[in-house]
Structure 1
Amino acid sequence: MELMYYYIPGLFTILLFVFFKSKQHTLKNQPPSPPSRPLFGHLHLVKEPVNRTLQAVSAMYGDILLLRFGVRKALLLTSPSAVEECFTKNDIIFANRPFRLAAKHLSYNYTTLSVAPYGDHWRNLRRLAATEIFSPSRIAMFTNTRRKEVMLLLSELMKKCEVGGGFCKVDLKSKFIELAFNTLSMTIAGKRYYGENVEDDEEARKVQFIMREMLVMSGNSNLGDFLPFLQWFDFKGLEKKFSTLMKKLDGFMQDLVDERRRVFLAADCVAEKTMIDHLLSLQQKEPSYYTDELIKGIVMVLIIAGTDTMSISMEWAMALLLNHPEAIKKVKAEIDTHVPQDRLLNEEDVPKLSYLQNVITETLRLYPPVPFLIPHQSSEDCKVGGYDISKGTVLLVNLWAIQRDPKIWENPTEFIPERHEERREGGFMMLPFGTGRRGCPGAGIANKVLGLVLGTLVQSFEWERVSEEMVDMTEGRGFSIPKVQPLEGICKPRQATIQHSLIPS
């Protein structure tokens, strides 16, 4: 108690110093700001679900707001024109990421593509992603891998239906996670973790748990990011938790790299069958740059971000279809018109299926994989919407709110795929994969996979809800927006599927 008596006045003095120091660099024409509280600023406004609470704040005070979270300033945007200004005119200025304790520990100390500071290293990673990972030729190389994983899912459902007397109940949430994880792990490392031919999927389930924990912890607000003095004594033990979590993830990633290295060396570098193989070939040419840590960082971002966003988007899309049987009928009719009944659709068919693409677009509008764009930070003073924005301001784009804004969208909370038939949105009213220099380079492949999975499921089976009640669409919490209630559905093979034996047993 005596120690606390001496420390508290000093701590309060430091807090006041930090608070007033943060106010020294103040520009004249700043955006409006809601009432704040001493020291904490607007942290009291950050309540779950953050996308909804901050949408309410913007509705009350304006679509361009300046908030203060502890010692940090944040520009909160729900204005498409202001977002456009940030990612066109001021794109370089907002190309950096703010410091976050979670990002430091869970990104190999800020060296991964998603959080690396804007500079030479980030540009190298971006070039690598564009030319070596997500290039059209590289994506085409793994077309058969994606198709095979979808066929394995269809075959599993068909067998369950045979056992169930012609129909079966399906845990779609788990199936979508398994499909996304298998597709990525086969593409990246040539290894499948779920399915009949897998001896033990316990490893995958452990990794899935770690990945989900990482995403939840990354999305949760950490007071230490806004009140740095809390980091002096590891507030709530977060650094220890992050370190333990990263140690587990790193071990999994290292095992993947080491396993592929053994295969790669045994093959005498002749065949490059996976993404890790390709990265290992680059490592041989330039070992000082393409270190194991850099390769692990690339693999981690691809697997974690890819599995989460793809599986969640599949689940939301299927939930919306189950709640709107008329939409399933339209998708089915479109596929029957454009795809011969004696074969399953493939990725080349998806661009012809405009209504299916509208369903995907509408799903991403209502339930974007992440409700906020990953935060950016200004590297110098600039102007946004006519307001002065100071250097070091964190940029928060409430994507979820923009895509449900009644000023932009008619009946914004309703699922209406037809709204996209004639309307082709500009790039700043719908940004499910981000935009600008730091937009997601995997947007193209994500849309391909969504189209292939949803299309083949609707083409191959009749789908119904498990009860007459509508599917519960309650949203979860975290970095992404998962469904709170895992999605289930009832499926029955379509007559054409049985007649033409489209799905091998």
Structure 2
Amino acid sequence: MERFYYVAAVTVVLLVLLHHLLMRRRKRHQRLPPGPRFAFPILGHLPLLKKPLQSSLADLAARHGPIVHLRLGARSAFVIGSASLAKECFSGELDVAIANRPHFPSVREASFDYSVLTLANYGAHWRTMRRVATVHLLSAHRVNVMSDSVIARELRAMVRRLARASAAAPGGVARVELKRRLFELSHSVLMEIMAQTRNTYSDDADEDMSKEAREMKGIIDAIVSLAGVANVWDYMPLLRWLDVYGVKRKLTDAVNRRNVFVYKMIDAEREKLKQLERKNGEGDANHSDDKLSMIGVMLSLQKTEPDVYTDTFINALVANLLGVATETTTTTLEWTMALLLNHTDVLKKAQEEIDSNVGEGRLLDKNDLPHLPYLHCIINETLRLYPAAPLLLPHEASTDCKIHGYDVPAGSMVLVNAYAIHRDPTIWEDPEEFRPERFEHGKAEGKFMMPFGMGRRKCPGENLAMRIMGLDLGMERLTWQQALAR
């Protein structure tokens, strides 16, 4: 037995030395960006990275320059930390060269084998999904239609629930857990948009989330904590094979629960369409897209091209939009409210703008938003300081290419640190401060920001997210009034 352990130890040492020699030989033939000189065997630079990851990478950029080379386990990563390099990455042929996504093992099952819109590689499948999202589901016209009906209705319902909670609370001031309330709002809006389904609530005035929102929040929290670029499990094959932390089991459970949730939505919408067709005449599929839910639109497309719009295609797109849109919108709204509640002068100025343009006798609607420039400044400043995806979604080079004159081998990961770029002191004065006034009267025009990404992989849901945030913040006057009164 002792001899076995001796042989095993020698084998591991030899493998580490061989890997180290091969890496050094490869580096001699490539011009790589600067980075930390010391890398741990097998782990690479992973032990040097701390949470939050965007801050740790920003510190490395401050020491090594605007592009940093890291070895994360077996993966090679290039971290972009300046506006000029980000523009270079997302223009021309380079935008195509790095348009793929790195396929982390932890997200394979959660992403329907990497077929969801945000994680699919650049190609025909991704282009079809992107076209459906931008043309049929998230176009400017459709967002306008949804603003008049779904978004406004759900926002009013949320305001009524807050009002009931305040009336039932001692002194008329209710304690609100913003994150849960905002997740509930985003989820209810998306459920209406995607499946024309209303969330169910109990008669308890203290209930801050519906049954459906609680279920989805638990699922999203589980998947987000176990998958993605910051998960060490993805970089260490031995940890994956042995499932040391039980990641595989936990992910499988969360994904199964999410799939049941999504399949139920799609089946219900399919049954609604069948009933509508029977009512209007057998086989009649001539429904206006404006009157159909997102799922209804995709099921209609499936009738015309079943080989393209398969059940897996629809399931993947629905699961992706429901998860990503809910989480990112909630996070941005939470940061906005936190910043406002900690900067009462900004909060008061926003309140006065709404009162003077909308009045106190009604809730605002989409037609009021163009007349509330300061509200837009608040949203832009929040997105500058706290973009929902501070590192954007990671890119992967599909071919050998160059960034800023440095070699980027095919298969390398490209991380764009939007958090650091948005706080660049050479671009923004006092970049760490929350100052919405920097966006007033076009003063920030031409200054670089990318909260929704850039290039071919830019988020198609920007219009919807900005509309939801504008309407939600404008309708939060009840919360603002309580905050200013305390």
Task: Note whether the superposition's TM-score is higher than 0.5.
Answer: yes
Unaligned runs of 5+ in 2: 278-284
Match of 1:156 among 152, 161, 173: 161
Letter in 2 for 1:343: R
> 1:80 maps to which residue?
83
User: Are 1:213 and 2:233 an aligned pair?
Assistant: no
Q: 1:287 to 1:14 in 2, by over 3 A?
A: farther
1:22 touches 1:71 (CA, 8 Å); kept in 2? Answer: no
1:22 touches 1:72 (CA, 8 Å); kept in 2? Answer: no
Deviation of 1:177 after TM superposition, in Å, equals 0.9
User: Are 1:253 and 2:262 an aligned pair?
Assistant: yes
Give the alignment of 1:110-259 within 5 angstroms.
110-143=114-147, 144-164=149-169, 165-195=171-201, 201-219=210-228, 221-259=230-268
> 1:61 maps to which residue?
64
User: Are 1:444 and 2:450 an aligned pair?
Assistant: no
Letter in 2 for 1:446: A
Cα distance in 2 for partners of 1:437, 1:241 equals 33
Give the alignment of 1:273-312 within 5 angstroms.
273-312=292-331
Deviations 1:37-76 (A, max 9, x none): 2332211122212122222222122221111112221111
1:332 touches 1:459 (CA, 8 Å); kept in 2? Answer: no
1:331 touches 1:458 (CA, 8 Å); kept in 2? Answer: no
Deviations 1:296-345 (A, max 9, x none): 11111111111111111111111111111111221122223333554321
Q: 1:349 to 1:19 in 2, by over 3 A?
A: farther
1:180 touches 1:310 (CA, 8 Å); kept in 2? Answer: yes
Deviations 1:68-124 (A, max 9, x none): 112221111111101110011310011011120122121000101000011111111
Give the alignment of 1:430-441 within 5 angstroms.
430-441=449-460
Deviations 1:195-219 (A, max 9, x none): 4589994443122111111112124
> 1:108 maps to which residue?
112
Cα distance in 1 for partners of 2:20, 2:117 equals 32
Cα distance in 1 for partners of 2:201, 2:370 equals 29
Letter in 1 for 2:292: K
2:183 touches 2:213 (CA, 8 Å); kept in 1? Answer: no
The TM-score normalised by the length of structure 1 is 0.86
1:58 touches 1:78 (CA, 8 Å); kept in 2? Answer: yes
Cα distance in 2 for partners of 1:128, 1:201 equals 29
Give me the CA root mean square deviation: 2.5
> 2:31 maps to which residue?
29
> Percent of aligned pairs with the same residue?
36
> 2:377 maps to which residue?
358
Cα distance in 2 for partners of 1:235, 1:124 equals 38
Cα distance in 1 for partners of 2:336, 2:369 equals 16
User: Are 1:457 and 2:476 an aligned pair?
Assistant: yes
Letter in 2 for 1:73: S
> 1:423 maps to which residue?
443
User: Are 1:49 and 2:52 an aligned pair?
Assistant: yes
User: Are 1:346 and 2:355 an aligned pair?
Assistant: no
Aligned residues: 466
Deviations 1:214-242 (A, max 9, x none): 11212463334334354443443333332
1:362 touches 1:417 (CA, 8 Å); kept in 2? Answer: yes
